[in-house]
Amino acid sequence: MYISDSVKYVGVNDTDIDLFESQYPVEEGISYNSYVIFDNKTAVMDTVDKRKTDEWLKNLEDVSCEPDYLVIHHIEPDHAGSIGAFCEKYPNAKLVSNAKTFAMLPQFFEGLDLESKKVVVADGDTLSLGTHTLKFIFAPMVHWPEVMLSYEESENLLFSADAFGKFGALTDEEDDDWACEARRYYFNIVGKYGAPVSTLLKKASALDIKKILPLHGPVLDKNLEYYIGKYTVWSSYECEDKGFLVAYASIHGNTAEAAEFVAKTLEDKGEMVELFDLCRCDTAEAIEAAFRYDRAILLASSYDGGVFLPMEDFLIHLRSKAYQKRRVALVQNGAWGPTAIRAMKPYLENMKEITLCEKEVTLKSILNESAKKELLSLIDEMM
Ligand SMILES: Cc1cc2nc3c(=O)[nH]c(=O)nc-3n(C[C@H](O)[C@H](O)[C@H](O)COP(=O)(O)O)c2cc1C
Ligand SMILES: [Fe+2]
Ligand SMILES: [Fe+2]
């Protein structure tokens, strides 16, 4: 991938990983991005996951890299995993990062002689490489405490760490739907940290940015307002589109039928709807849709005096990602003493600015005509 005459891409694709972070299906793989800036001094920007160390070191050789510096923006192992191998191969290179990173680094790599290697930078510090100058911008809790970005002043490049990243290995094809996988990435990985992301966006708005170089996914070099606009909406927890998440957890299929009835009715009214079977779907996709739309309808079977566990698990995920500012309606099913709503409600009541629909619907096993009528009245209230 061409970035500029002085900046080369040396990252790697990982297409044989089963689950990113042991939880996110990535059918299209994921990239661990790394870049080299060539100038009087040569700076390598981040390493890669240790799954791909050898390939990355070969990429460095292929561009004839003789590094003076390794800049560490984020110490999570998907990026920092090859620091040990880097130090072995390039013993004279200095490591550039902040105090928090250097405090954590020995937890990951024992026996690095940090005293002779480390260059500790503060927020706003600069590092001159010759004609290129890196300015460091701290972004604590986007989404780890040590995260920092750097802005290269001569070419207006923002090395954005995990911000603006997305799932999916890099290909030569144009990325025509960046938002889909970037949104799943954002809400599941960074979602809880909307306030720190907003702070970062404010800092970034003072910069003249021509290209964004994230640690995953494509380099962004056109229509930057579009990407920054998406991040502005996402980090503020405002809804991106008017519409519905309809998510259900059904043991024997009756609640599933009710969910399908609800989804179809909404679609017939012209609403945008995404329907998820929480027993089978990628939870991360359902989380993504929950944040995308302004309304959600959650339907679940009762289970052992509580709620069927895939729904409870989903609510725990929503809580973990700081779900808020949405309207939510609840539907339960039970054969003898329905308990699902009683179990679901406390999760939602404890979230910020969640408005629960007054109408609640209880199915006593099958979706009969009277249950349909009730669901229609719940839908009316949610319009
Ligand atoms: C293990 C298990 C526990 C259940 N616990 C309850 C319960 O506590 N209260 C209740 O009313 N129904 C309970 N049920 C019954 C289901 O909630 C009921 O059959 C419901 O109609 C299932 O809807 P579904 O067809 O969408 O799965 C339980 C069912 C199973 C299999
Ligand atoms: Fe990360
Ligand atoms: Fe990452």
Nearest CA to ligand 1 atom 16: 334
236, 262, 288 — which closes off a domain? 236
Q: What is the pLDDT of residue 271?
A: 98
Q: Is the peptide bond before 143 cis (omega within 30 degrees of 0)?
A: yes
Rounded mean pLDDT, 105-124: 96
Tell me the torsion sign for CA atoms 187, 31, 230, 204. positive
Nearest ligand atom owner, CA of 217: 3
Query: Are 75 and 161 members of one domain?
Result: yes
Contact 193, 147 (CB under 8 A): no
Instruction: Please give the number of the atom of ligand 1 that sits closest to the Cα of 334.
Output: 11
Nearest ligand atom owner, CA of 33: 3
DSSP 8-state secondary structure symbol assigned to residue 187: I
Amino acid occupying residue 94: K
Ligand 3 centroid – CA 179 distance (Å): 17
Assigned domain for 81 exists: yes
Question: The whole model's pTM is what?
Answer: 0.95
By most ligand atoms within 8 Å of CB, the mutation choice from 252, 260, 277, 302 for ligand 1 is 302
Whole-angstrom distance, CA of residue 328 vs CA of residue 153: 46
Ligand 2 centroid – CA 153 distance (Å): 25
212, 236, 260 — which closes off a domain? 236
Q: What is the pLDDT of residue 176?
A: 79
Instruction: Please give the number of the atom of ligand 1 that sits closest to the Cα of 337.
Output: 11
Query: Are 349 and 256 members of one domain?
Result: yes
Kindly report the average pLDDT of the chain as a whole number.
97
Q: What is the pLDDT of residue 26?
A: 97
Q: Containing domain of residue 145, as a range?
A: 7-236
Nearest CA to ligand 1 atom 30: 303
Assigned domain for 226 exists: yes
Query: Are 293 and 373 members of one domain?
Result: yes
pLDDT at 179 over 90: yes
Query: Are 20 and 72 members of one domain?
Result: yes
Residues with CB under 5 A from ligand 2 (ion): 76, 162
pLDDT at 173 over 90: no
Query: Are 255 and 208 members of one domain?
Result: no
How many other C-beta atoms lie within 10 A of the C-beta of residue 112? 18
Contact 317, 351 (CB under 8 A): no
Query: Are 282 and 341 members of one domain?
Result: yes
Rounded mean pLDDT, 150-166: 97
Ligand 3 centroid – CA 215 distance (Å): 6
**Which residue do the tokens 């739907």 mark?**
177
Whole-angstrom distance, CA of residue 261 vs CA of residue 371: 11
Query: Are 213 and 362 members of one domain?
Result: no
Query: Are 274 and 225 members of one domain?
Result: no
Q: What is the pLDDT of residue 316?
A: 98
Assigned domain for 2 exists: no
Ligand 1 centroid – CA 338 distance (Å): 8
Q: What is the pLDDT of residue 175?
A: 73
Amino acid occupying residue 90: Y
Rounded mean pLDDT, 349-360: 98
Ligand 3 centroid – CA 190 distance (Å): 10
Contact 146, 140 (CB under 8 A): yes
135: domain CATH number is 3.60.15.10
Whole-angstrom distance, CA of residue 72 vs CA of residue 239: 34
Nearest ligand atom owner, CA of 146: 2
pLDDT band at 221; cut points 50, 70, 90: very high
Ligand 2 centroid – CA 375 distance (Å): 41
Assigned domain for 1 exists: no
324: domain CATH number is 3.40.50.360
pLDDT digits (tens, 9 = 90+) for 290-334: 999 999 999 999 999 999 999 999 999 999 999 999 999 999 999
